[in-house]
């Protein structure tokens, strides 16, 4: 919402225009055309050659026309008339006042000799005045006409942009009245029928103008609300009549009616009084009291604007209002002083022009405020080249004026022949040439600051935002940039970003701000069409398109929101999202420039979205890498740093993880003292579901629990039951396959319990086959159920026995055809290489598996421990 | 009904009201009555309108024939009947009365304004009650304040009852309503000339001439005024212009005669007076100019020609039809015979004529008229006394004549100024009595007004020997 636009959400609105009222455009156009016709009529009349005597009459004289001035070289001057003479009659008709001259002159043509009856210093004489063709439109009238045109252009421009805004409508009427006042009222009599028409129009404008002026400043920038009768809590209530007055001023439609009818009523009363001889004086055809009322209204209007400025807390709003206030005061105050009070109080209207000329400041100030501050939410694109051309022309004109003035001054004060010298002319030209460019540059800087700073700021902000969009890798921030910030920069009512939902890929507004816009399924026609067009698609255009039901539902909802344009966010032919662009706050159509900006932002946004996606993926991957590193470290720490040294027994362990981190482990522990001195040796082989830090941690936990329990009670079944309960409590739905073997070197016994692990393979010395050692009854993985009655099995070994403790990664290794390696192949391989030293045996086992799986990916860790007796 | 934005409604409302007001005013202006007289004939109205214009121009004959033409077109035309009756009143009173009675028959068919005019005419020619007439004029002005005719009629009435200043104020009001009412300026010019303010008179008469440059009378009036103050060339120029406009404008011939008298060329004056007599519109005026020619011829020393002229005049007077007009003419002739005999130097005849005149002058009648007779008698007595050499008596009588003088009414025409003649004769009487200083003083008012008035200059020269 612009700082200077009324809040449409306000229940009363700025002017209370009912939403269902018909469009005011025809009425506004009619009024404008009518005013223009009158103005054109007046201007044509002023600049159309007519028979004229060159007498400038004193408008207030009676008993004849007192000659206040004579047009130099005019007919009257040639006929010998002098200032101060009284023209008693023209064309053999007696005249009482200046207003009676027009019909008389109208009867004659240019070049005709007309008899004038003149009184000079008491002597009456007749003289012939040969009327000359004359254009009444003087330089001052030309200025008035220009001023009127300026007002008209300003008013028409603003109303063409914001015809629905009540304040703009009143402003437009105000501009038209100013135009009529300047063009139809401040004009000399033309002695033609047009005079009657335009003077009546000018008088009407004079009556309406002050009221409209006040009306405008009661509406602008927002409807003024009077609160003088309100009291803070604890303060005694104000008088009842004050409350009534406040209600009247704030709500009653009679206020405006009163404002508008007072001047004409006053006029009628005074003119009625004039018939009874009570009217003392008319100033330019209007009674003094009307002029004073005009001044009062103007001052009240200025006070209303000053009050708005004073009470406004928004700095951004205060600045343009201050500019308007200063400009309007600079235009109005001289008018009130020289054009109203001087003629009214001192009966002096020679300085009328001094009061009218500065009024040009008013339209110029408004125009400046529109360009500079987007007054009325109207945006104007001022082309620099045009402004610079005007600037150059102004500077050139200024220099020309300097030359003329300089010459005039020098020739006045000096009779030197210097001026006649070509050296002087050359020197002067040189000075002008030298000074021209510096002055132009200096002024250009000022112009840039005055007119283009905001524009440049806007472009800069847009550029910055574009850069931010590309560099922003966080989606929420990117969304905010693409929606809120863009809407703010382009002054949009709404801007929604629709992105594919993770779950179904449908385009939806995930922010919740785009309430009312349904999701567009991935397969809907609309996203594809928008992508194919690749340019902004106006919603209105879609009416002619064949759409599926989802797209139609979306379009209907979008029109309700209202959305005006859809833009694709796409890269490399892939639609990453949709921008649903709402209306401009100014209610103007989106300009080509706006759409260009939006398309640029959409393209940048698409790149931003793509970059954000890549960034998210990379981040995930990096996080995974980090996790795996940690898991790997943990896992590495679980494997024994060195193999146990047991006399007569050799061990070898291998673990080949499937990915970066494996879930398998094995370890040795001395349960009851040094194994070399007869202590028992524990072997733990495990496999945790999942390959991650949690799996590793669970593995650590399982290992530590087993170790702790094993130290207290070395019976594997007991250890497993205890460990199972603890692991169940730690982590649900994550299991640990574990096998715990307690080897007693003294008696070569192996006591053990399994939990989800494959049964170890045994090759006896001289045997040609591998067998499984006896398996316990309960072999469920640890952590699957709270209570599992794990049992312990003891098996006695013999010298020459070769044992293979392994995880399922060996027998379940998959070929490319998804065929498992299988127990039989494992056993065969184990037997085949049983005579080899343990490290080589381990290599061959793995090589056989690799041969089987070929290039197929390894899905599970491959961990095993080899143990040979003797 | 057109709906409009609420913000524009007050403006539109004001515009609509103002528009209606303007339209109403314009309508009233164009719908106003274009005619102010009742007639069924367009031709009659045109003839009447033209006659009224000529009336204002003082073209008596044209005015009369115009009114008559209007009546011919529409015999029931009341205003034309009344105007014609007014013109006929001095010439044929019976015919005038008959016309008035004829107009009264259509009383019910005319407008209120015309009814009022009819009542005024009836009162003027009937009971002639000045108070009633005054009220009728007041009513006319009150009911028709924008009709200049009402002010003119009331001004004439005020002048008739010797309220000259009020009459002039009435003319000024008339001009405030209609500054182009030309004859009002003529009246004001004469008024101020009568009171010796010739600058003001010239101002008004120039305005009159300016407004009616196509008429003879404005030039004539201005020429007459110039003649009175000795600006003979300007007087002659204007009078000749008047005659160029209307060659039978007898008054201008008469004033040219006055110019020549002032210049000291009585023979030329006599010629102009004769022309005036020839152009005169009625026997009374003709007789006046004939007698002026007689006097001028005497001044020129052409006694025989004067006698011949006088005889011709008296012969024509005798042809006047019997009645009140013939009696008045006979009395006038008796006055003129007395003056004639005195100028011829026939003392006995003059004394006898004077005696007869004194007997013939009525002793009862309107006071103003009686005063006039008395003054005329005194003048003639003085002239006879002067001619027979009774200078003390003549000085006394002329002194009285002059003391009774002063501005008369709204001013009038005096081709052979009786006042100036009385002053010259007073001066002549006094100088002959040896009272030269007094004689010189007696001439001063004449020479102050017109330092080029030759008869006065001649007398002054005679006084100084």
Ramachandran region, residue A652 (left: φ > 0; alpha: ψ -120 to 50; beta: rest): beta
Inform me whether the pLDDT recorded for A3 exceeds 50: no
The 8-class DSSP code of residue A661 comes to S
ipTM: 0.78
What are the distances in angstroms from CA B334 to CA A611, B168, B310, B377?
141, 36, 12, 11
Would you say B51 and B63 are in contact if contact means Cβ atoms under 8 Å apart? yes
The rounded mean pLDDT for chain A is 80
Helix and strand numbers (H, E) in chain A are 25, 25
Give the mean pLDDT of A249-274: 77
- H/E stretch holding A613: helix A592-638
Tokens for A202, please give them. Answer: 């000018």
Do A200 and B22 count as a contact with CB atoms less than 8 A apart? Answer: yes
Q: Which sign, positive or negative, has the C-alpha torsion A14, A20, A25, A30?
A: negative
The per-residue pLDDT for A472 is 76
Return the structure tokens found at B336: 């003129």
Contact between B220 and B255 (Cβ < 8 Å): yes
Distance of CA A581 to the CA centre of its chain: 11
The residue-averaged pLDDT of A785-806 equals 91
Q: Predicted confidence band at A689 (pLDDT cuts at 50, 70, 90)? A: low
Q: Which of A77, A179, A187 is nearest to A138 (CA)?
A: A187
DSSP secondary structure string for all residues of B393-418: HHHHHHHHHHHH-S--TT----SS-H
Chain A residues with CB-CB distance to B212 below 8 A: 92
For B3, list phi and psi in degrees, rounded to 5: -85, 145
If you average pLDDT over residues A760-767, what whole number do you get?
A: 89
Window from A1-5, A85-89, A637-641, B448-452 with minimum mean pLDDT:
A1-5
Are residues B342 and B383 in contact, defined by beta-carbon separation less than 8 angstroms?
yes
Q: Tell me how far CA of residue B98 lies from CA of A761, B82, B85, B104, in angstroms.
A: 172, 10, 8, 10
Which chain B residue's Cα is nearest to A125? B206
What is the model's pLDDT at position A419?
56
Rg (CA), chain A: 50
- Chain B contact for A21, CB < 8 A? yes
* pLDDT values of chain B reduced to their tens digit, one per residue, 465 residues: 334 455 666 666 666 766 666 666 665 555 444 457 888 888 898 999 889 888 877 777 888 999 999 999 998 899 999 999 988 877 777 888 889 899 989 888 888 888 898 999 888 888 778 889 899 999 999 888 888 888 988 998 888 888 888 999 999 999 888 888 888 999 999 999 988 899 999 999 999 999 889 889 999 999 999 999 999 999 999 999 999 999 999 999 999 999 999 999 999 999 999 999 999 877 888 999 999 999 999 989 999 999 999 999 999 888 876 666 677 888 888 999 999 998 888 888 888 998 888 888 888 877 777 888 888 889 999 999 998 889 999 999 999 988 886 666 666 778 888 889 999 999 999 999 999 999 999 999 999 999 999 999 999 999 987
User: CA-nearest residue of chain A to B176?
Assistant: A96
Cβ A126–B206 below 8 Å, yes or no? yes
Q: Which tokens hold the place of B96?
A: 């005038």
Chain B interface disruption, residue of A169, A178, A255, most B CBs within 10 A: A169
pLDDT digits (tens, 9 = 90+) for A315-361: 667 788 888 899 989 988 888 888 777 766 676 667 777 888 888 88
Report yes or no: A692 and A630 within 8 Å, Cβ to Cβ.
no
Instruction: Return all residues near B104 (Cβ < 8 A) that are at least 6 apart.
Output: B118, B122
Distance CA A189, CA A65 (A): 14
Determine the 3-state secondary structure of A530 from DSSP.
Answer: helix
Contacts of A469 (CB under 8 A, 6+ apart): A478, A481, A482, A601, A604, A605, A607, A608
* Cα end-to-end span (Å), chain A: 92
The Cα A372–Cα A450 span in angstroms is 7
Look at A211 and B7 and tell me if their CB atoms are within 8 Å. no
DSSP state for residue B101 in the 8-state scheme: H
pLDDT band for A821, please (50, 70, 90 cuts).
very high
Residues 6+ apart with CB under 8 A from A160: none
Sequence-distant (6+) residues with CB within 8 A of B206 are A117, A124, A125, A126, B222
**pLDDT 10s digits, A410-457:** 655 555 555 556 666 667 667 766 777 777 777 777 776 666 666 666
Q: Which residues of A touch B8 (CB under 8 A)?
A: 24, 27, 169-170, 173
Cis peptide bond upstream of A221, omega within 30 = yes
Interface test with B, best of A260, A268, A277 (most B CBs within 10 A): A260
Beta bridge partners of A793: A752
On chain B, the residues whose CB falls within 8 A of the CB of A117 are 206-207, 210
Res A415: pLDDT: 54
Q: Looking at chain B, how many residues does it have? A: 465
């Amino acid at each position: 919402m612009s700082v200077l636009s009324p809040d449409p959400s306000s229940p009363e609105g700025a002017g209370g225009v009912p939403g269902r009222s018909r469009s005011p455009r025809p009425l506004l156009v009619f009024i404008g055309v009518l005013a223009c016709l009158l103005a054109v009529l007046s201007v044509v009349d002023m600049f159309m050659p007519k028979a004229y005597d060159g007498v400038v009459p004193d408008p207030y004289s009676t008993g004849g026309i007192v000659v206040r001035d004579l047009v130099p070289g005019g007919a009257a001057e040639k006929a010998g008339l002098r200032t101060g003479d009284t023209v008693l009659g023209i064309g053999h008709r007696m005249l009482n006042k200046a207003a009676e001259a027009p019909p008389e002159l109208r009867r004659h043509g240019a070049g005709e000799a007309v008899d004038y009856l003149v009184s000079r210093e008491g002597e009456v004489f007749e003289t012939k005045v040969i009327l000359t063709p004359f254009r009444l439109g003087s330089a001052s009238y030309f200025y008035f006409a220009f001023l009127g045109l300026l007002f008209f252009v300003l008013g028409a421009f603003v109303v063409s942009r914001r015809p629905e805004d009540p304040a703009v409508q009143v402003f437009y009427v105000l501009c038209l009245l100013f135009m009529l006042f300047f063009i139809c009222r401040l004009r000399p009599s033309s002695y033609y029928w047009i005079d009657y028409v335009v003077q009546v129009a000018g008088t009407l404008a004079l009556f309406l103008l002050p009221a409209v002026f006040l009306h405008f400043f009661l509406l602008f920038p927002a409807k003024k609300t009077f609160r003088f009768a309100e009291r803070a809590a604890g303060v005694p209530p104000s008088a009842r009549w004050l409350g009534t007055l406040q209600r009247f001023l704030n709500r009653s439609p009679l206020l405006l009616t009163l404002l508008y009818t007072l001047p004409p009523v006053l006029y009628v009363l005074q003119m009625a009084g004039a018939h009874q001889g009570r009217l003392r004086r008319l100033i330019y055809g209007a009674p003094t009291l009307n002029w004073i009322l005009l001044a009062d209204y103007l001052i009240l209007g200025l006070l209303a604007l000053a009050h708005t400025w004073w009470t406004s807390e928004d700095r951004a709003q205060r600045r343009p209002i201050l500019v308007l206030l200063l400009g309007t005061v600079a235009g109005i105050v001289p008018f009130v002083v020289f054009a109203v009070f001087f003629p009214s109080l001192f009966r002096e209207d020679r300085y009328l022009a001094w009061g009218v000329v500065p009024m040009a400041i008013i339209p110029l100030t408004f125009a400046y405020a529109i360009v500079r501050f987007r007054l009325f939410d109207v945006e104007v694109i001022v082309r620099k080249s045009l402004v610079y051309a005007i600037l150059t022309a102004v500077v050139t004109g200024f220099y020309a004026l300097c030359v003329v003035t300089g010459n005039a001054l020098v020739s006045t004060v000096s009779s030197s022949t210097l001026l006649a010298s070509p050296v002087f002319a050359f020197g002067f030209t040189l000075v002008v040439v030298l000074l021209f460019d510096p002055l132009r540059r200096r002024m250009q800087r000022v112009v840039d600051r005055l007119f283009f700073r905001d524009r440049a700021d806007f472009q800069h902000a847009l550029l910055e935002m574009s850069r931010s969009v590309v560099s922003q890798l966080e989606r929420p921030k990117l969304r905010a940039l693409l929606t809120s910030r863009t809407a703010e920069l382009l002054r949009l009512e709404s801007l929604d970003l629709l992105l594919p939902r993770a779950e179904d890929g449908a385009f939806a507004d995930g922010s919740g701000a785009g309430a009312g816009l349904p999701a567009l399924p991935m397969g809907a026609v609309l996203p594809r069409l928008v992508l194919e067009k690749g340019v902004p698609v106006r919603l209105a255009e879609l009416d002619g398109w064949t759409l599926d039901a989802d797209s139609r539902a979306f379009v209907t909802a979008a029109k309700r929101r209202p959305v005006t344009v859809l833009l694709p966010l796409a890269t490399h032919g892939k639609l990453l999202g949709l921008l649903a662009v709402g209306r401009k706050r100014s209610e103007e159509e989106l300009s080509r420039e706006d759409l260009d900006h939006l398309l640029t932002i959409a393209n940048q946004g698409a790149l931003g979205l793509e970059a954000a996606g890549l960034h998210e993926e990379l981040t995930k991957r990096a996080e995974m890498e980090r996790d795996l590193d940690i898991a790997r470290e943990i896992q590495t720490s679980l494997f024994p740093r060195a193999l146990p040294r047991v006399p007569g027994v050799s061990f070898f362990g291998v673990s080949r993880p499937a990915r970066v981190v494996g879930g398998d482990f094995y370890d040795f522990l001395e349960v009851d003292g040094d194994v070399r001195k007869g202590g028992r040796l524990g072997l733990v082989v495990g496999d945790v579901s999942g390959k991650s830090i949690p799996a590793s941690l669970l593995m650590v936990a399982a290992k530590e629990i087993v170790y702790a329990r094993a130290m207290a009670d070395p019976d594997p079944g007991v250890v497993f039951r205890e460990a199972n309960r603890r692991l169940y409590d730690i982590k649900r739905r994550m299991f640990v396959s574990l096998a715990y073997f307690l080897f007693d070197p003294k008696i070569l016994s192996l006591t053990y319990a399994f939990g989800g692990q494959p049964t170890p393979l045994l090759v006896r010395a001289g045997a040609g086959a591998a067998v499984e050692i006896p398996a316990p009854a309960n072999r469920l993985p640890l952590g699957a159920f709270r209570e599992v009655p794990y049992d312990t099995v003891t098996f006695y070994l013999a010298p020459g026995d070769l044992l293979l403790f392994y995880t399922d990664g060996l027998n379940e290794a998959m070929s490319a055809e998804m065929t498992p390696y299988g127990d039989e192949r494992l056993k065969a391989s184990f037997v085949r290489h049983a005579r080899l030293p343990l490290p080589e045996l381990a290599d061959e086992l793995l090589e056989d598996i690799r041969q089987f799986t070929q290039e197929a990916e390894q899905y599970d860790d491959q961990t095993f421990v080899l143990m040979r007796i003797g | 009904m057109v709906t409009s934005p609420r913000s524009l409604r007050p403006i539109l409302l004001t515009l609509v009201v103002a528009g209606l007001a303007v339209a109403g005013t314009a309508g009233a202006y164009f719908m106003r009555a274009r005619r102010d007289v009742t007639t069924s004939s367009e031709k009659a109205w045109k003839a009447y309108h033209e006659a009224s214009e000529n009336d204002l121009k003082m073209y008596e004959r044209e005015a009369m024939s115009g009114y008559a033409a209007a009546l011919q077109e529409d015999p029931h035309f009341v205003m034309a009947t009344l105007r014609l009756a007014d013109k006929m009143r001095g010439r044929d009173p019976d015919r005038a009365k008959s016309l008035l009675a004829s107009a009264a028959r259509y009383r019910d068919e005319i407008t209120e304004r015309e009814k009022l005019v009819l009542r005024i005419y009836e009162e003027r020619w009937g009971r002639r009650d000045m108070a009633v007439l005054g009220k009728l004029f007041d009513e006319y002005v009150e009911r028709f304040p924008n009709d200049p005719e009402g002010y003119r009629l009331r001004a004439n009435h005020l002048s008739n009852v010797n309220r000259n200043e009020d009459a002039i104020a009435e003319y000024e009001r008339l001009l405030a309503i209609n500054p182009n009412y030309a004859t009002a300026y003529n009246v004001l010019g004469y008024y101020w000339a009568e009171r010796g303010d010739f600058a003001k008179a010239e101002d008004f008469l120039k305005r009159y001439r300016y407004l009616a440059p196509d008429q003879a009378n404005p030039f004539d009036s201005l020429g007459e005024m110039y003649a009175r103050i000795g600006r003979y060339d300007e007087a002659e120029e204007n009078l000749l212009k008047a005659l160029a406009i209307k060659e039978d404008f007898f008054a201008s011939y008469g004033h040219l005669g006055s110019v020549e008298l002032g210049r000291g060329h009585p023979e030329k004056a006599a010629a102009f007076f004769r022309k005036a007599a020839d152009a005169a519109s009625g026997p009374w005026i003709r007789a006046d100019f004939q007698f002026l020619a007689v006097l001028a011829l005497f001044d020129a020393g052409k006694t025989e020609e004067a006698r011949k002229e006088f005889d011709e005049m008296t012969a024509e007077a005798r042809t006047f039809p019997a009645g009140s007009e013939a009696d008045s003419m006979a009395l006038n002739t008796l006055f003129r015979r007395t003056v004639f005999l005195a100028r011829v130097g026939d003392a006995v005849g003059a004394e006898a004529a004077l005696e007869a005149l004194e007997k013939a002058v009525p002793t009862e009648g309107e006071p103003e008229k009686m005063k006039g007779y008395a003054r005329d008698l005194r003048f003639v007595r003085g002239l006879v006394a002067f001619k027979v050499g009774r200078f003390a008596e003549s000085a006394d009588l002329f002194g009285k004549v002059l003391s009774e003088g002063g501005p008369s009414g709204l001013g009038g025409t005096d081709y052979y100024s009786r006042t100036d003649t009385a002053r010259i004769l007073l001066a002549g009487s006094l100088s002959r009595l040896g009272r030269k200083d007094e004689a010189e003083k007696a001439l001063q008012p004449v020479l102050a007004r017109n330092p080029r008035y030759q008869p006065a200059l001649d007398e002054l020269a005679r006084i100084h020997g």
